[in-house]
Structure 1
Amino acid sequence: MTGWTVLDIEGTTSSTESVHVGLYAFARPRLGPWIDANRDDPEVRAAVEEIGGGTTEEVVKVLHDWMDHDVKATPLKTLQGRIWAAGFAAGELTAHFFPDVAPALRAWHAEGRHLAVFSSGSVSAQRPWFAHTEDGDLSVLVERWFDTVNAGPKREASSYRRIAAELGGTDLLFLSDVPAELDAAAAAGWRTTGLRRPGEPSEDADFGPHPVVTSFGDLR
């Protein structure tokens, strides 16, 4: 295996529940205190301004509504990512990965396959997620990190063209549990494979023309 394999996270490498229940529950009560404690931080200030400003309570109300409806809003992802990174650094959080993921990533890396991540979660959240797992530090295997800020929306072909230009490769494989994301990658000329994880929201999804596996161990 040569070239690049680009990974989605939620539902692909890790369970949706570990994000929506574990991480969301950790971030939810910490959003207000975090904003108040970091008002002078340029990234935090920019996120608050993008939401529309106002009091901390007003901003948090918007953020909680976005969380309740799983809105992939950049300000929310930015603030969550900062809170999660602090939680991982303090040993309060450990990332969940499906059992087949770590062995596959290590094997692909050893074979010379380059690895990257493209997730709607911010890069600041992606790195500690891969660094603090029960299987050790997997972030050392990943060479590039992409989110909706530095690449664009995950369901638009232009985002995958942008990533391809950044990676400079022609052998590009995207792994995701979301058919619409796979459609966008394929439209940009990528190879694709869908992940049909048992018990995940996309278990019964129609993946159309995309190859489908239930485990990274099934990829060849």
Structure 2
Amino acid sequence: MSSIPFDIVGFDLDGTLIDTSGDLAAAVNYAIGTIGRPPFPAAAIHPFVGKGAKIMLARALDASGGYDAETLDSLLPILLDYYEQNLAIHSLPYPGLIDAMDALTDAGVKLAICTNKAERFTIPLMQQIGLSDRFAAIVGGDTVGVAKPDPAPIHEMVARAGGGRTIFIGDTINDIAGARNAGLANIAVGFGFLDGPVENLDADAVIDHFDELVPLLQRWPA
């Protein structure tokens, strides 16, 4: 294998490493169902995801008939409690991920996660999927008190993984802007929870399948 000029490859979680749309949709549908709203198909949840559970719920409520602040505040803990109990029913790694992770690990590259998902969901999800031991660091949205696009959690991810040249991979503007704010090279994935064309993220590079990741990193300028 050609050498990869990075010590750490960092990943966002939802919409990048793991397709969590099925379980997020189930939680949203459970919450809005308590006030008689009809359920959304999982694919319809994609545009609602990416900026936290509260915004996801607000977008779902808006799309299903509107809401007020009191309704949003009352439904959010219902959604979160349901989701916490059903983290990994439908969630799966994206195609090609495991092979890419194996190749990176074989090349001596450390893997890490920086997500805006709270630790109470992130750590159990990765454990239940069986991938937590593959990562040198897992930083959640509440680990350091701020979330992406603030660079602090990405800096924490790099530090916990042992430091070194790092590239970050994500699917939303929070990921790409966060990486840029942290001074890191970055890659956007075209298969995540995008709320617009992936080109709008203005990432350093784009992949549409994880089969493309390792060859791209091997070609990356040293």
TM-score relative to the length of structure 1:
0.64
Deviations 1:50-87 (A, max 9, x none): xxxxxxxxxxxxx87872348xx9xx69x83x754543
- 2:119 is matched with 123
Matches within 5 A, 1:76-91: 80=80, 84-87=83-86
> C-alpha offsets along residues 88-124 of structure 1, whole Å, 9 cap, x if unaligned?
5xxx724222111122122222332211111111223
Match of 1:114 in 2: 110
Matched residue of 2:102: which SS?
helix
Q: 1:203 to 1:16 in 2, by over 3 A?
A: farther
Please tell me whether the aligned partners of residues 116 and 142 of structure 1 are also in contact (alpha carbons under 8 angstroms): yes
- Say which of 10, 20, 29 aligns to 1:6: 10
Q: Distance in 1 between matches of 2:192 and 2:118?
A: 26
Unaligned runs of 5+ in 1: 31-62
1:189 pairs with 2:183: yes
- The aligned counterpart of 1:145 is 138
Whole-angstrom distance in 1 between the partners of 2:187 and 2:91: 23
Question: CA, structure 1 residues 189+200, in 2 after alignment: closer, same or farther (shift >3 Å)?
Answer: closer
Alignment of 1:87-102 (within 5 A): 87=86, 93-102=89-98
Q: Shift of residue 201 of structure 1?
A: 3.4
Q: What do residues 142-175 of structure 1 show as CA deviations (whole Å, max 9, x unaligned)?
A: 2211112113211112332333333341211111
Q: In the alignment, which residue of structure 1 is the partner of 2:154?
A: 160
Question: What amino acid maps onto 2:104 in structure 1?
Answer: W
Q: Which residue pairs with 1:43 in the alignment?
A: none
Which residue identity does 1:189 align to in structure 2?
A: G
Q: Is 1:174 equivalent to 2:173 in the alignment? A: no
- Separation in 2 of the partners of 1:27 and 1:112? 44
Kindly indicate whether residue 63 of structure 2 is the aligned counterpart of residue 67 of structure 1. no
User: Hey, what's the Cα distance between the residues in 1 that align with 2:19 and 2:188?
Assistant: 15
Classify 1:28/1:118 alpha carbon distance in 2 versus 1 (closer, same or farther; 3 Å). Answer: farther
- 3-state SS of paired residue (1:5): strand
Q: Which residue number in structure 2 is paired with residue 60 of structure 1?
A: none
Q: TM-score, normalised by structure 2?
A: 0.63
Separation in structure 1 between the aligned mates of residue 142 and residue 83 of structure 2, nearest angstrom = 18
Task: Decide whether the 8 Å contact of 2:169 with 2:186 is kept in 1.
Answer: yes
Aligned residues: 176
Q: Does 1:207 align with 2:201?
A: yes
Question: What SS does the corresponding residue of 1:175 show, helix, strand or coil?
Answer: strand
Give, in whole Å, the separation in 2 of the partners of 1:162 and 1:183. Answer: 16
The whole-number CA distance in structure 1 between the counterparts of 2:147 and 2:55 is 20
8 Å contact from structure 2 (residues 172, 194) kept in 1? no
Percentage of identical aligned residues? 16
Q: Find the aligned partners of 1:206 and 1:125 in 2 and give their Cα distance.
A: 29
Give the aligned residue type for 2:93: F
